[in-house]
Amino acid sequence: MAYKIVIANQKGGVAKTTTAVNIADALKYMGYRVLLLDLDPQCNSTSVFVGGTVPEDENTILDVFLKRENISDCIKHTDFGDVVCGSRELANSEDTFMRAAGGLKIVKNALKEINEQYDFIIMDTPPNCGAFMRNALFAANGIITPLQAKRFALDGLTDFLDTIELLKDDGNEQLEILGLLLTMYDQRNKQDKEIIAALPEVGQKLNINVFKTPIRINQAIENAIADSKSLFLTRSTSNGANDYADLVCEILDIINKGALNNECA
């Protein structure tokens, strides 16, 4: 049964897409069956997987939302991995799904069909708490929240956590926050150092795990994304590859620990 991870933060520019793509890539390299679901109307992770724009006749996530197509018909197999492509038209139809009855369970219901086909389903989300983000959170098992190591990093985090609690109450009790992930960390920058020092305390106060591995700012990550190539296969010695490898190991440990705890309970 697939473990569904959503990469979510209502703030933009915090490396959600980069994190989603590299986690999916690392898990695939490790031999897991991985699917990336692009729920962001910007379609950046789709363009990394496809290596450009999606052909017009290709089924996208929009077909799942509008036409209720089977999600298995929307999976595109690429060299990078399996992806359900995003659509720019998602942005225009968001309000419709917010208001529609059952509009927040579309992704959850769609994923039931392919639950056994994959070990991990990674969901990339838009930078807002709209219909698509809520759909992803409703379907997910775990959340990773990337935070940029900058002054306003923690602003709005409590609101986001409230949204998660509401969704838990609405029916997705299994949802757990895997952790806060510090991205674009510059170890030479004083402000970044202060934030990384303060983050564990914030985590303790909010009762959330903070990943031990910060993702350092690294050009290799950007270059791999720009080339639509695997960071681990083309730039395996870079700091970026090392950080994401550590992160994925940490994620697996958390998930396995959780699974053990559930078995014990």
Partner 1 sequence: MSALDKLNAKAIKKVNAEVKETPKPIEEKKEAKEADLKASKSFTEKPKKPEAAKEPKKKKHPGGRKPTRGQNGKDYKMMNIAIPMEVYEKLQAASNGNMTYYINSILRSSVED
Residue 245 contacts partner 1 per CB under 8 A: yes
Residue 122 and residue 35 in contact, taking contact as beta carbons nearer than 8 Å: yes
Residue 211 contacts partner 1 per CB under 8 A: no
Residue 138 and residue 171 in contact, taking contact as beta carbons nearer than 8 Å: yes
Residue 255 contacts partner 1 per CB under 8 A: no
Residue 263 and residue 254 in contact, taking contact as beta carbons nearer than 8 Å: no
Residue 29 contacts partner 1 per CB under 8 A: yes
Nearest distance from C-beta of residue 249 to partner 1, angstroms: 5
Stretch near partner 1 under the rule CB under 8 A, chosen from 65-73, 97-105, 132-140, 243-251: 243-251
Residue 77 and residue 109 in contact, taking contact as beta carbons nearer than 8 Å: no
Residue 18 contacts partner 1 per CB under 8 A: no
Residue 35 contacts partner 1 per CB under 8 A: no
By C-beta, is 100 or 233 nearer to partner 1?
A: 233
Nearest distance from C-beta of residue 193 to partner 1, angstroms: 24
Separation between Cα atoms, residue 136 and residue 125, nearest integer Å: 7
Nearest distance from C-beta of residue 26 to partner 1, angstroms: 6
By C-beta, is 97 or 185 nearer to partner 1?
A: 185
* 3-state SS string for 171-212: CCCCCEEEEEEEECECCCCHHHHHHHHHHHHHHHHHCCCECC
Residue 242 contacts partner 1 per CB under 8 A: yes
The residue within the footprint of partner 1, chosen from 100, 198, 249, 260 (CB under 8 A), is 249
Separation between Cα atoms, residue 25 and residue 244, nearest integer Å: 10
How many CB atoms are located within 10 Å of the residue 111 CB? 21
Positions in the binding site for partner 1 (CB under 8 A): 26, 29-32, 232, 236-238, 241-242, 244-246, 248-249, 252
